[in-house]
């Protein structure tokens, strides 16, 4: 084949409609990508709204950017709520401890007082030491001196009263016989560890 061309200067020219059409063709993938993204976002939001109707009430009908901002806000709120819950739990535990502590001490002292009033005509009671260490133990040391004989009415009464209470207590006693005096040195402890 003879490929002769005497004029090789021509450059291809396009009409404005062709240029616009070509630009549109080149932009088509970008437009398609954006439309796909938009559709995907809407589908995801609608799925989210169906799954979490309450949370979705705070989600604005805006862009994905707003949605992510809301998600951050929700996450912050969740963290602060957790902190509050922990604080409340600590406080309620502390209040519970206070209540248990006051119950234990109150009942103990009430038993002590009640026992004394019941036997005040029979025994003399001398309080030697009262040691109260919060969150550790509560100790009461006393002397029980009966008016007659060797029956320690207070000690017995007090222990009986204590046994009817839900207390973890421990009583020790030591008899003192000095000349004609019969006395009892007693020590009662209750464990208040943890309260």
Which stretches of the chain bind another protein, using CB under 8 A?
A: 1-7, 10, 12-15, 17-18, 21-22
Of the pair 20, 64, the CB lying nearest another protein is at 20
Q: Closest distance between another protein and the C-beta of residue 25, in Å?
A: 8
Q: Closest distance between another protein and the C-beta of residue 27, in Å?
A: 15
Phi, psi for 62 (deg, rounded to 5):
-100, -150
Of the pair 6, 179, the CB lying nearest another protein is at 6
| Sign of the torsion formed by the C-alpha atoms of 112, 117, 118 and 124 | positive
End-to-end CA distance of the chain: give it in Å, rounded: 109
Torsion angle of C-alpha atoms 78, 81, 85, 87, degrees rounded to 10: 120
Q: How far is it between the farthest Cα atoms of the chain?
A: 152
Q: Closest distance between another protein and the C-beta of residue 14, in Å?
A: 6
Of the pair 11, 129, the CB lying nearest another protein is at 11
Q: Closest distance between another protein and the C-beta of residue 15, in Å?
A: 6
Residue with tokens 């009415």, as numbered in its chain: 153
Of the pair 22, 109, the CB lying nearest another protein is at 22
């Amino acid at each position: 084949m003879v490929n002769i061309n005497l004029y090789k200067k021509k450059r291809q020219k396009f009409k404005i409609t062709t240029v616009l059409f070509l630009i549109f063709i080149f932009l088509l993938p970008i437009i398609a990508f954006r439309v796909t993204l938009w559709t995907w976002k809407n589908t995801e939001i609608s799925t989210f709204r169906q799954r979490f109707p309450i949370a979705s009430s705070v989600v604005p009908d805006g862009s994905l950017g707003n949605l992510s901002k809301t998600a951050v806000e929700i996450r912050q709120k969740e963290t602060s709520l957790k902190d509050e819950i922990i604080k409340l739990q600590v406080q309620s535990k502390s209040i519970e401890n206070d209540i248990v502590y006051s119950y234990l001490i109150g009942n103990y002292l009430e038993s002590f007082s009640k026992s004394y009033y019941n036997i005040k005509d029979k025994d003399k009671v001398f309080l030697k030491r009262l040691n109260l260490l919060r969150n550790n133990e509560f100790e009461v040391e006393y002397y029980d001196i009966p008016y007659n004989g060797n029956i320690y009415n207070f000690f017995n009464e007090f222990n009986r009263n204590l046994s009817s209470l839900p207390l973890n207590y421990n009583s020790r006693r030591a008899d003192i016989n000095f000349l004609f005096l019969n006395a009892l040195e007693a020590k009662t402890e209750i464990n208040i560890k943890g309260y």
